[in-house]
Amino acid sequence: MTDMIAVAKAIRDLGYSPVACGDDKAPIGPWKQYQKEPMSDAEIARKFRNGARLGIVCGKVSGNLECIDIDEPSLYEPFIEMLELQRPGMSKKLLHRQTPSGGYHLVYRSEKPVAGNQKLAMQPGVDENGKPTESVLIETRGEGGQFLSPPSEGYVILQGSLKEISVLTADEVDTIHSTARAFDRCYTQKKCQNQTQYNDAPGDDYNQANLAEDILLNFGWKKDRRTTAGQGMTRPGKEQGTSAVVFDDTNKVYVFSTNAYPLEDRETYSPFAVYTMYEHNGDFSAAAAQLRKGGYGSTKTEQRARITPKALPDELSPVAPFDLELLPDSLRAWASDICERMQCPPDYVAVGFMTGLASLLGRKIGIRPQRHDDWTVVPNMWSLVVGRPGVMKSPALEATIAPLKRLAAEASKAHETNKTEYQRNKTIEKLRMEAAEKTARKLLEKDPETDLLAVLTVDEVAVPTLKRYIANDTSPASLGELLRQNPNGLLVYRDELVSLLKSLDREDQADGRGFYLTGWNGDSAYTFDRIGRGLNLSIEAVCISILGGTQPGRLSEYIRHAVKGGSADDGLIQRFGLLVWPDSSGTWKNFDRKPDNKAKNEAFRVFDRLDKIESKEIGAQQDTDIDGNLEGLPYLRFDNEGQELFSKWRADLERMLRGDELHPALESHFAKYRKLIPALALINHLADGGIGPVGGRATLQALAWSEYLETHARRAYTAASQPAVSTAKAIISKIKTGTLVAPFSSRDVWRPGWSKLSDRDQAVEALRLLCDYDWLYEERVETGGRHATQYHITEW
């Protein structure tokens, strides 16, 4: 009894709120007050005097404590394995306790407040009267809850101590919760994103008739090693490694990869849900309707005799080709060389160059687009290149950021030298401090009142900071820390950019989304308040440039969701001013020759010069405060010719934005050109060695960019409302020429690799479009295994 009192006090002194519990595990007497404030010594002595068991209150009172209660012992090992697959080393951060019933408690603290008790995984059953029931498999003990703890009888410590408990990030807690939900054995079909329930007979029928593993294999997934929970699967585009698990007992898929598009990270899917995401862009109603046509959930209806197909929408809107004259003179030769050798559209190279230069300038210097106003544009840029697989997007962008990587390598070498020098100086600082202390003691012996401040003042050696150019970890927390050390700004480079945007759409990423939105401005301060990292971690100004690529289908799907409202409808995608979607290049030519090193070296020198540029050397101005001290960004303005050109363009832009002809999404996109076009003019001016005000030629180049980019923006936003039209017309062409003979499957369309038909996702989307417009209809075919879908031609 005395020992339990001592333990309860020790637990309280560690920052937890103990509570006395009886044999039924429930707290003895009223205990709500202990959910807000721990017991006093007297209360502990009184509550635990009769041999009560020790419970610990969860939630805020115990430092945001939460416990995962695994009631089904057989789920412990699979649960831990699933955590380790997603986050190696994660299980070591948790306290592991075994309960008298054989279950387990996993305990941790959260950096953010925890919710109340939640039932995460359930088991269906029936009661003695045959009525359906549900029992708990895994649940949480959170705010307002408690759990029993050793030394209560029967509770065993397996790993960890309350003295050294880990504080998990919100994302880590979400991983634990979503993993637990994956073990739910009660069948509930959930929509992606909004998680509302959707029940439909065709979907239920489809789930009964199809194995999730087979569905994934059909969409390009591969089998990986088996886990204790089920079959591990590797996502398309990855050679090995587990990206998802198909559960043996529920036939559901738990995905834990951020690159498994269109499936979402940490989501659970039935076979019907997988089919819906891949074939119907998450539209469960459309998926159910299509399955019903194929015979799922109802008796197959008679095929239609003769139907007049509806006219298909127009294809992609035309775009302007890129003219290399829009680039600075100093970069044009190397851009031409890259395009010729790679046989890639010049658009990709141009966007890569301008974004790289924008990230280098960052907050070194801005431009004030008006003659007298203090409106200042920071020249960072967000850029997105669009194209089908194989059109050399990634190699082109990699070539354009090579100068940045070279600068990063040089900075890394310099940092190593600085660290060595720092260690030497740190030793000297220590010796000086020791000598100063000895001198101070001698002075004190002579005169106890002597002033020792000057004697003990030793200059502290500053810790060297690595200069960064490109951010590898794009999570807001890591990026924020890098920006604190690199206030000029950084480039976020992602080969597949839409996956980053979709991750920021999640509710638990609201803060991260806000951080990125702030970073587009380039001049707004930001403060992180994170438990475990300290409070008030301030960034003077978040300045982020972004560069990446994506495929047409992924961009169209993302824009469709963005313009319909919801978390993505806040102007994030509209901030990608350098958005280019060029036509595929024509005839391929083989250029097997050495790179133009002279042109390359000249371009590298431009990047070096802008990296080291000094505002005074180029005639930049800077404001002063009331005491005459410099403040704000150094800046340039337009000269008279440049100002006249820009002002006229701006007037035309404002008239267009205030009209009623633009879609709201396009209106938001074009509104961002107020920042983009002056920034392009500044970059062109400085890249070609300009000094002083930005002149007419650089301004004309920027205005030409505006005309060019407007056509590409219209293509992107129009394509979002008219998906797969080009692919659908290519299918019709193959049917009319007899190359594609009905009945056929989606595989028959994309497998041969025909022009415009080689992408599986686009082919499936186009076939759905043709069914919607009555050019084709689907038939479900029994194959002895999983069902197949075949397409027939209506009699047009």
DSSP string for residues in 628-658:
S-EEEEEEEEB-HHHHHHHHHHHHHHHHHHT
pLDDT tens, residue by residue, 112-126: 999 999 999 998 887
CA distance 561 to 575: 16
> Is 41 among the domain residues?
yes
> Is 300 among the domain residues?
no
Is residue 564 located within the same domain as residue 587? yes
| CB atoms near residue 233 (< 10 Å) | 23
User: By the 8 A CB rule, do 352 and 547 touch?
Assistant: yes
> Is 195 among the domain residues?
no
Cα angle for residues 291, 293, 295 (degrees, 5° grid):
75
Query: In the chain, what is the greatest distance between 2 CA atoms, to the nearest angstrom?
Result: 114
| CB atoms near residue 102 (< 10 Å) | 13
Is residue 419 located within the same domain as residue 360? no
Residue 35 in 3-state DSSP?
Answer: helix
Radius of gyration of the chain (CA): 32
Residue with tokens 């060595």: 420
Which parts of 91-211 fold into alpha helices (H)?
Answer: 170-181, 201-209
CA distance 7 to 161: 13
> Is 238 among the domain residues?
yes
CB within 8 A of 267, min separation 6: which ones?
178, 192, 254, 255
CA distance 273 to 283: 10
Is residue 761 located within the same domain as residue 698? no
The total domain count for the chain is: 5
Question: Which string of b and e fits 156-180 if b means at least 16 CB within 10 Å?
Answer: eeeebebeebbbbbebbbbbbbbbb
CA distance 520 to 785: 52
Which residue, 398, 395, 385, 394, is CA-closest to 319? Answer: 385
- pLDDT of 304 reads 36
CA distance 210 to 670: 47
> Is 532 among the domain residues?
yes
Is residue 9 located within the same domain as residue 137? yes
State the sign of the Cα–Cα–Cα–Cα dihedral 370, 374, 378, 383.
negative
Domain edge (last residue) among 703, 719, 735: 719
Backbone angles phi, psi at 29, to 5 degrees: 75, -175
Cα 756 versus chain centre, distance: 29
CA distance 657 to 649: 12
Which residue, 707, 678, 674, is CA-closest to 693? Answer: 678
CB within 8 A of 214, min separation 6: which ones?
785, 786
State the sign of the Cα–Cα–Cα–Cα dihedral 729, 735, 741, 743.
positive
* DSSP 8-state secondary structure symbol assigned to residue 150: T
> Is 400 among the domain residues?
yes
| CB atoms near residue 124 (< 10 Å) | 12
- pLDDT of 786 reads 62
Is residue 700 located within the same domain as residue 678? yes
CA distance 634 to 614: 10
Is residue 156 located within the same domain as residue 206? no
Is residue 670 located within the same domain as residue 556? yes
Domain edge (last residue) among 424, 456, 488: 456
| CB atoms near residue 735 (< 10 Å) | 19
Residue 156 in 3-state DSSP?
Answer: strand
Residue 398 in 3-state DSSP?
Answer: helix
CA distance 151 to 100: 12
Backbone angles phi, psi at 506, to 5 degrees: -65, 145
User: By the 8 A CB rule, do 702 and 327 touch?
Assistant: no
Cα angle for residues 755, 761, 767 (degrees, 5° grid):
80
> Is 189 among the domain residues?
no
Is residue 355 located within the same domain as residue 504? yes
Residue 134 structural domain:
2-181
Is residue 36 located within the same domain as residue 153? yes
> Is 629 among the domain residues?
no
Which CATH number goes with the domain that contains 66?
A: 3.30.2250
**Which residues of the chain fall short of a pLDDT of 70?**
1-2, 130, 187-201, 294-295, 298-307, 314-315, 529-536, 563-569, 585-587, 721-723, 782-787, 795-796
CB within 8 A of 483, min separation 6: which ones?
489, 490, 519, 539, 542, 543, 544
Which CATH number goes with the domain that contains 655?
A: 3.40.50
pLDDT tens, residue by residue, 147-193: 999 999 999 999 999 999 999 999 999 999 999 999 998 754 333 33
- pLDDT of 782 reads 67
- pLDDT of 108 reads 97
Is residue 265 located within the same domain as residue 156? no
Is residue 254 located within the same domain as residue 341? no
Query: Residue 738 region, left (φ>0) first, then alpha (ψ -120 to 50), else beta?
Result: left
Is residue 252 located within the same domain as residue 160? no
Domain edge (last residue) among 147, 181, 215: 181
